[in-house]
Structure 1
Amino acid sequence: MIIDSRTMESEDEESLLGQSEEEEDSELSDDALQEAFAKGLLKPGMNVYVERSKQFVNNVEGLKHCLADFRKDLPWVERLDMTNLPAEDVIFKAEGKVSSGKAGDVNADDDFQREMFFYRQAQATVLDALPLLNKHGIATKRPDDYFAEMSKSDQQMQKIRKKLISKQLILEKSEKAKKLREQRKFGKKVQVEVIQKRQKDKRAMMTAVKKYQKGMTDKLDFLEGDKKKGKDSSQATPASNKVAAKKGPNSKRKFKDQKFGFGGKKSGKKWNTKESHNDVSSFRAKVANAKGSKGAKKGAKGGKQNKRPGKSVRKKIKSRS
């Protein structure tokens, strides 16, 4: 039994009629095949698939007729088609070489040569097309107030605009915060410098006050602060001179100055000399040894005796004075 491909195709077409028919046909075909196999009618090599050769139709006349229908006699402005050879290679010309404008001379595997060929061909097309466009009154440059037509909708562009504005506001806020931080740092630095300057001026004033109290100076320029810093003492007001002359050192300072002096060398007034060392005329044994004569002792016992008052009495006397 030989099964031809045509019979197989007919069976396939019949199988597409319905699902129930397909199931019945499949069951019948299976039963028929089983019976044929049981009878020994099916043997290896009997089922042969016949392949049909594909027929290629080259209808030249039909293609030309279709091309004639497609072709329309339109002006060049509507077509804008250009067929150009590549422009002259400037590099080859500068090197003294001759470059042919044929595409067959370009190595297709060389990417650089291929891309340069395309570039030169486009360049030649532009050079030939620009005069034609200007001749037909077609502008080749955009005007200054030209706005490109967006392919996106206005709603989408509004969203993009809002997003860009929000980003710009965030950047401005960050820059403002950064400037404020820098200003705070600078302000803190200036504040520290001002405090240090005040402390320095205060120490200088306290030092000047102590010198004035000790009588080491009679100037009161430090009382006027920064007003007198750039001025000489000759420019002092008469009122300040009167105050300085009137005030002067207090009585305690005058007493200490009179008693102890101002320190330093005392010009040797209390130094012993040979004559003063040998002079014993002022020596008194009673005073030196705290011993008096018998009469003096008797007189001291019989007469008035100067005793130092007690501590409580001395305090009362001191508080009265």
Structure 2
Amino acid sequence: MVDLHDSSDSEELDSDEELQRAFARGELKTGLNYEARAPKQIINNVSGMKQKLAELQKNLDWIEQLDLTNGPAPAPGGQEEFTEDEDVSNNDFKRELRFYRQAQASVLEGIPRLHKLGIKTRRPEDYFAEMAKSDVHMKKVREKLLEKQQNIEQRDKAKKLRDLRKYGKKVQIDVLQKRQKEKREMLDAVKKFRKGQKNKLDFLDDNTEKGKGKRGGGKNQDNKVQQPNKKRQYKNQKYGFGGQKKRSKQNTKESAADLTGFNPKVNQSRPGFNKNKSGNKNKPNKRGNKDKNKRPGKSQRHKMKNKR
């Protein structure tokens, strides 16, 4: 029984020994060495190829083959769209246009030949060319394009969010740096004030002025004292600023003689005013207290009755 492990080790030793002997002879060079393969022999059997072509070739009528070999059709207006030496392999638009012109030239040559052979041609109204790719394949292409578009939109959205975050961080850092700067300046001012280098703390005055400006109290820029609001003024006028409150509404000689606030329409106790038949109050009569329609007394009515 042959051990496979021993045989593989012996082959490796033989190959190493062969490499050592080749290196000693100078056949190997320093660097990466690989096994050289025999050069490929190219056989140009022209006679054999012609024999196979003759076997495949069949002499059929043109109507059975319908093969045409021609160049592109001329452009409208007689202008040359392509040159003979022009390479259109890297220009998609010109390559597709050349295909179109070549197909047009085949139609212009093939239809007259069919008519000459007595074969009628007609193109259906609902003619649709068969697509080279199936609907399933085109559906996959559309899905791929939509996926790419969505990926682009997501990348743009993520980029905008990153820019907004960077801007927010920048603003936050600026605010923190400004606060730290104000804090350092305040501490330096306090140290200088303690050492006697400053007579007063300027930042305290600035803070008080800012606070007064925010609350709306104190003096304004024109050094004018701001007046209290209307509600406070009314209460001060009504209740005063303190002191004695009782007997404040007691009448005096002057207040009793003052009739400027008397309104005859409101006060009904004035003589010469009564209620007439129409029901209007506080309307004076033409003759003072006398009323034409006033009923006479009992004795007067008795006298009038006896006179009759």
Question: Above 0.5 in TM-score?
Answer: no
Q: Which has the larger radius of gyration?
A: 1
Compare the two structures and name the one with the higher helix fraction: 1
What is the TM-score when the length of structure 2 is the normalising length?
Answer: 0.33
Bigger RCO (CA 8 Å, 6+ sep): 1
